[in-house]
A and B are shown apart, each in its own frame.
Chain A
């Protein structure tokens, strides 16, 4: 059932897009809770959105990267492994396109979590990142405990991953590129193997940047 989350959301998004009103606002995904507070003696109900919880991993340069590094940044996350023979090369090729579109923008990051921590050691990730053409301070390749990465993927980024020895390369995973806003809220997921959706992602990053500017 969980595997259906993003396809269903994508349908939703498609429908929303077809409504052609010029409202360029992106939905906010994940569970939300109403919170009732007392402000100035009056009862107000506010909505609290799900955010990416705290984490601490290491990147290709042995730097510790936590959720704090991404606080106040717009970023795109995906889950991959360097020896993946199936969809990852295509996903990473498309991540590279996104990277190039916003290269040098310091409020924009990319994060690629490896789902194969045993093989993808820091030197392996470093070589991979350099050969791909990714700049270290803008695109993190993160290594963490397998259980933590998988939890984060499934529970928070809503991307299904698992180990399966029958699958090519030993892992099954979905190719979503997940867009997260400055407050750590998931704002969209795009099929990382589909050029059109990747173009939409590039557009939507700009929408989030404008949204942040409008409020500032």
Chain B
């Protein structure tokens, strides 16, 4: 068994180099953000915003094809880190509930979940890097 594993190391190495070299650096980074972001979404956001990003009634706003995500790109990090309260409009509908702060998430995790959300549920905004999140967090209103 041990021989098998040791023997398979070079093989895996060759295989993975093959796979990875076919993808660009940027693509790999995007994939990494997206996959991590999906895990975070499943555990931290799905309950309210739902599996497919539809939200729930007028209580929890949708992330699915949400114009809000495009119009408030640099605000999303603050929304997630500090939570959000007060009247907002998403896809023409009003929402006014309280989203609790997600202070347990680090800047990189926030970047990952933003990347996931803004590239799922019919959204396609590309990667949102941690460097941008750090700048955004410095500009939060609170």
Residues of A within 8 A of B (CB): 83, 85-90, 92-93, 96, 128, 130-133, 169
Instruction: Type the 1/0 row for B67-83, where 1 means its CB is closer than 8 Å to any CB of A.
Output: 00000000000000000
Any chain A CB within 8 A of the CB of B60? yes
Closest Cβ of chain A: how far from B72's Cβ, in Å?
22
List, sorted by A's number, 14 A–B pairs whose CB atoms are closer than 8 Å: A85-B100, A87-B47, A89-B59, A90-B46, A90-B47, A92-B56, A93-B50, A93-B56, A96-B57, A128-B59, A130-B58, A131-B57, A132-B58, A133-B58
> Would you call A132 and B59 a contact (CB within 8 A)?
yes
CA of A38 to CA of B141 in the docked complex: distance in angstroms?
Answer: 77
Chain B interface mostly: loop
Closest Cβ of chain B: how far from A127's Cβ, in Å?
9
Q: Which 3 A-B pairs have the closest CB atoms?
A: A131-B58, A133-B57, A132-B57
Chain A interface mostly: helix
| Cβ-closest chain B residue relative to A169 | B100
> Would you call B100 and A89 a contact (CB within 8 A)?
no
Any chain A CB within 8 A of the CB of B98? yes
Closest Cβ of chain B: how far from A191's Cβ, in Å?
14
Any chain A CB within 8 A of the CB of B108? no
CA of A33 to CA of B57 in the docked complex: distance in angstroms?
Answer: 44
- A-facing residues in B25-82 (Cβ within 8 Å): 46-48, 50, 56-60
Closest Cβ of chain B: how far from A87's Cβ, in Å?
6
> Would you call B98 and A83 a contact (CB within 8 A)?
yes
Closest Cβ of chain B: how far from A10's Cβ, in Å?
21
Name the A residues within 8 Å of B8 (CB-CB). Answer: none
